[in-house]
Amino acid sequence: MCILVDVEGIDGVGKSTVIRLTADELRRRGYLVYVTSEPSDSPIGLFIRKNVLESNLEVEPTALALLFAADRVVHYNRVIRPKVQEGYIVITERYIESTVAYQGSQGVPIEWIMEINSTVAEPDLVIILNAPLSTVAGRLTSRGTLEYFERNISFLKSVQETYLRRARERNYPVIDASRLIKDVVNDVLTLIEDKAQGKCKNNN
Ligand code: TMP
């Protein structure tokens, strides 16, 4: 048994790059690492990407919360749990806290979100990446086509506020992702190695 790490933060904050570089370094240090993300590539995840994120279709936030939770059940049971059991450090880009932050900011009650996610395990570690909205907005614009939630900076501001409030309430570490990438990765590495110690295989 090893650990599940959830890396969270608003669109454009740099999650993918930080996860990739962190995973490379953990592997170099001898750990088995498996990187994944949500929405996952299950049929439900693909449905969400195609019919919601890449389209202009307005979907009721409650229905969206259920779709993301359904994708998560499949993702957890078929991918995450087996990999954790095999001894991998599983790093997921987005998990339960994304539904809390995004659909919670759309007005869906957080207690209910936690309830519909109660059949999957909570992560061993949740890391929130945070950066000023001006930095994030610049990154998103330079990406070209914007998806569903990326178009609305004031919505992303409330998502960011929800992340930071949850971090205070649940003691999640918040990492300043506007610094040099190597410093951000170093902080994330320290947090993950602290949790992994004694639980995960390390071949070195
Ligand atoms: P991404 O793959 O670029 O991160 O896009 C996923 C989008 O879906 C992002 O805008 C956040 C949103 N999302 C939710 O609203 N709720 C969720 O539970 C998840 C996993 C993602």
Q: What does the pLDDT look like over 144-191, one tens digit per residue? A: 878 878 778 899 999 999 999 999 999 999 999 999 999 999 999 999
Span 35-62, pLDDT tens digits: 999 999 999 999 999 999 999 788 999 9
Mutating to test ligand 1, I would choose from 41, 53, 60, 158 the residue with most ligand atoms within 8 A of its C-beta, which is 53
Axis-axis angle for helices 153-170, 133-142 (nearest 10)? 130
How much distance in Å is there from the Cα of 102 to the middle of ligand 1?
A: 8
In ligand 1, the atom with minimum distance to the C-alpha of 99 is: 18
Whole domain around residue 144: which residue ranges? Answer: 4-195
Q: What is the CATH number of the domain that holds 153?
A: 3.40.50.300
Omega prior to 39 cis, within 30 of 0: yes
- Closest by Cα among 188, 186, 183, 103 to 149: 103
Token couple for 62? 């409650």
Number of domains the chain is built from: 1
From atom 19 of ligand 1, which residue's Cα is the shortest distance away?
Answer: 98
Is position 201 within any domain?
A: no
Handedness of CA 144, 147, 151, 154 (dihedral sign): negative
Is position 56 within any domain?
A: yes
Is position 202 within any domain?
A: no
- Closest by Cα among 194, 158, 172, 192 to 21: 192
In ligand 1, the atom with minimum distance to the C-alpha of 38 is: 20
Backbone angles phi, psi at 100, to 5 degrees: -60, -50
Is position 68 within any domain?
A: yes
Q: How confident is the model at residue 75 (pLDDT cuts 50, 70, 90)?
A: very high
DSSP string over 14-79: SHHHHHHHHHHHHHHTTB-EEEEESS-SSHHHHHHIIIIITS-----HHHHHHHHHHHHHHHIIII
Is 197's pLDDT higher than 80? yes
Is position 120 within any domain?
A: yes
- What percentage of the chain reaches a pLDDT higher than 90? 86
Span 100-124, pLDDT tens digits: 999 999 999 999 999 999 999 999 9
pLDDT attached to residue 203: 76
